[in-house]
């Protein structure tokens, strides 16, 4: 199979949202901390009728319908999620309800879990499958679905929720440059979920930021090394049209891109203009550890990187800033933002993505965008996703509603024998929602 990659994408995020500015006031933090400090505008959240299973049912059904895909044509289905609802039964098996109806039970794949990285593991599995000898000619389907919720405190404004589905096959408008991948995997306790009775993670915020940036440096080094090996020349930021990052909050994305620019400077100072050399020169001798701690370097590199950031990163930030951290879906929501904003000018261009999951696992990989036939074209993907329409039709709640919902969910998580309000008034037609969990913990969903 040639040009294996992403043929089609759809995205779903819950209609309930809260403005970060309102959260700042509610939480009593200084004005601008969440909007400028974290760089976030708004945050979507699941009300008591939505969860990772309902969102993934919604997005898979919608993708199949909108691109006219026969459910029998799916041969592999992989889910990435870190929102564990059942320690044994995968989310993938819930999604099988869609395919069983059409007599298709011959579908490989289960769930992948490692913090925000599970979606990337699922995606690489599907791409590898289509590129392999075991491929049977049918499509792969990848689903990333998460509800990111934190205990009260500084991490709460970095929540969010969404599900993304991506159809995988040959001759794709978004094809993988499969040789160009660099990974970094290590043991760390930066963010983890050891308390199985709670949906909230244990998080060391500062450590998670450093782990993220260290993993980024390491992946970029491996990525550049492979690029040089296969392309016979040095890689730099100018070799890709856009850079897409896992986006816990926008400020970290700004810092990450600046960090890549600093890497380029260290590898090849002569490639930089005079102003960059002058601003970054003083930091050239810092050790790795010192460089992660240096606020001055952070500020200087962000300043130097600003024009390139506006060109190569800003178009990827729309959905992550509006919806928040979507864990496994975050990176792909950032990529979807790029398609939404720039679909008409991306053909022929390379886009580099960085996936990070705490604990920790990370991969940087490369995509090549191409013109291709309807319905699998960049412009049709942008049309189907209807990002503007979905953002506009959200319902804004006051922070009190978020707090009240999270309180209720603290009791509902892992619980049995309850019925939900079944209130689907906010949901658009075709959306799945949770109606009941019975005395055997079995979950039931309805479709609006």
Q: Which residues are catalytic?
A: 82, 116, 246
The smaller minimum CB distance to ligand ACO, of residues 117 and 376, is found at 117
Distance of alpha carbon 297 from alpha carbon 286, whole angstroms: 10
**Are 168 and 92 a contacting pair, CB within 8 Å?**
no
**Rounded Cα distance, 12 and 15, in Å:** 9
The residue whose Cβ lies closest to ligand ACO is 37
CB of 202 to ligand ACO, least distance (A): 11
**Residue 30 beta carbon to ligand ACO: minimum distance, rounded to whole angstroms:** 4
Euclidean distance between CA atoms 43 and 136, whole angstroms: 41
How far apart CA 136 and CA 231 sit, in angstroms, is: 31
Task: Check the annotation: does 89 bind a ligand.
Answer: no
Residue 294 labelled as part of a binding site: no
Nearer to ligand ACO, 174 or 252 (CB): 252
The Cα 43–Cα 45 span in angstroms is 7
Cα of 446 vs its chain's centroid, Å = 26
Q: Which long-range contacts (CB under 8 A, 24 or more apart) does 127-131 make?
A: 127/4, 127/5, 127/168, 127/176, 127/178, 129/76, 129/168, 130/1, 130/4, 130/168, 130/169, 130/170, 131/1, 131/4, 131/178
Shortest distance, position 296 Cβ to ligand ACO, whole Å: 12
Residue ranges that bind ligand ACO, judged by CB under 6 A: 30-33, 36-38, 116, 154-155, 158, 191, 203, 205, 208-209, 212, 248, 251-252, 325, 358
Instruction: In angstroms, give the least distance from the CB of 256 to ligand ACO.
Output: 10
**Residues near 317 by beta carbon (within 8 Å), at least 6 away in sequence:** 247, 250, 253, 334, 337
Asked if residues 426 and 15 have their Cβ atoms less than 8 Å apart, the reply is yes
Radius of gyration of the chain (CA): 21
Residues 81 and 357: beta-carbon distance below 8 Å: no
Least distance between ligand ACO and beta carbon 325 (Å): 6
Nearer to ligand ACO, 140 or 357 (CB): 357
Question: With respect to ligand ACO, which residue has the nearer C-beta, 209 or 361?
Answer: 209
CB of 104 to ligand ACO, least distance (A): 35
Dist. CA 146–CA 81, nearest whole Å = 6
Task: Please identify, using beta-carbon distances, which residue of 200 and 223 lies nearer to ligand ACO.
Answer: 200
233 annotated among ligand-binding-site residues:
no
Q: 367 Cβ partners below 8 Å, 6+ apart? A: 5, 6, 174, 175, 176, 177, 350, 351, 352, 353
Phi then psi for residue 432, to 5 deg, are: -85, 150
Distance of CA 320 to the CA centre of its chain: 8
- Choose between 18 and 369: whose C-beta lies nearer to ligand ACO: 18
Between 116 and 427, name the residue whose CB sits nearer to ligand ACO: 116
> Smallest distance from the beta carbon of 376 to ligand ACO, in angstroms?
30
Given a contact cutoff of 8 angstroms between Cβ atoms, the answer to whether 161 and 43 are in contact is: no
Could you list the residues known to form a binding site, using ranges. 208, 251, 255
Residues annotated as binding site for CoA? 208, 251, 255
């Amino acid at each position: 199979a040639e040009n294996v990659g992403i043929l089609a994408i759809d995205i779903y995020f819950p209609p309930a949202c809260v403005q970060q500015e309102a959260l700042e006031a509610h939480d009593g933090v200084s004005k601008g901390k969440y909007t400028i400090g974290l760089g976030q505008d708004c945050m979507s959240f699941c009300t008591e009728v939505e969860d990772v299973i309902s969102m993934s049912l919604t997005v898979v059904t919608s993708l199949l319908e909108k691109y006219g895909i026969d459910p029998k044509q799916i041969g592999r289905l992989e889910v990435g999620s870190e929102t564990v609802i059942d320690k044994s039964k995968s989310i993938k098996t819930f999604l099988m309800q869609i395919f069983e109806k059409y007599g298709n039970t011959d579908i490989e794949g289960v769930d992948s879990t490692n913090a925000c990285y599970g979606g990337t593991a699922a995606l690489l599995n599907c791409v590898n499958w289509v590129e392999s000898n075991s491929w049977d000619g049918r499509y792969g389907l990848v689903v990333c679905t998460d509800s990111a919720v934190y205990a009260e405190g500084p991490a709460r404004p970095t929540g969010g929720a969404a599900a993304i589905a991506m159809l995988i096959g040959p001759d794709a408008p978004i094809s993988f440059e499969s040789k160009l991948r660099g990974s970094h995997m290590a043991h760390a306790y930066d963010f983890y979920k050891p308390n199985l009775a709670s949906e909230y993670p244990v998080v060391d915020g500062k450590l998670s930021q450093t782990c993220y940036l260290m993993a980024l440096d390491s992946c970029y080094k491996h990525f550049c090394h492979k690029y040089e090996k296969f392309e016979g020349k040095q890689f730099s930021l100018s070799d890709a049209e856009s850079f897409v990052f896992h986006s816990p909050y926008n400020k970290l994305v700004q810092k990450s891109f600046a960090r890549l620019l600093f890497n380029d400077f260290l590898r090849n100072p002569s490639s930089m203009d005079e102003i960059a050399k002058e601003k970054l020169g003083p930091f050239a001798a810092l050790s790795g550890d010192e460089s992660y701690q240096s606020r001055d370097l952070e500020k200087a590199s962000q300043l130097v990187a600003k024009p390139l950031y506006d060109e190569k990163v800003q178009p990827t930030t729309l959905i992550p800033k509006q919806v928040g951290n979507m864990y496994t879906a975050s990176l792909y929501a950032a990529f979807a933002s790029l398609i939404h904003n720039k679909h008409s000018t991306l053909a022929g261009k390379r886009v580099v993505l960085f996936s990070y999951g705490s604990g920790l696992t990370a991969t940087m990989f490369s995509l090549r965008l191409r013109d291709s036939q309807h319905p699998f074209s960049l412009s049709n993907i942008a049309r189907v996703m209807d990002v503007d329409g979905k953002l506009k039709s959200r319902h804004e709640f006051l922070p009190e509603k978020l707090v009240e919902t999270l309180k209720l969910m603290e009791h509902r998580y892992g619980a049995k024998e309850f019925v939900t309000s079944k209130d689907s008034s906010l949901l658009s037609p075709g959306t799945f929602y949770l109606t009941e969990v019975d005395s055997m913990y079995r979950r039931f969903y309805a479709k609006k």
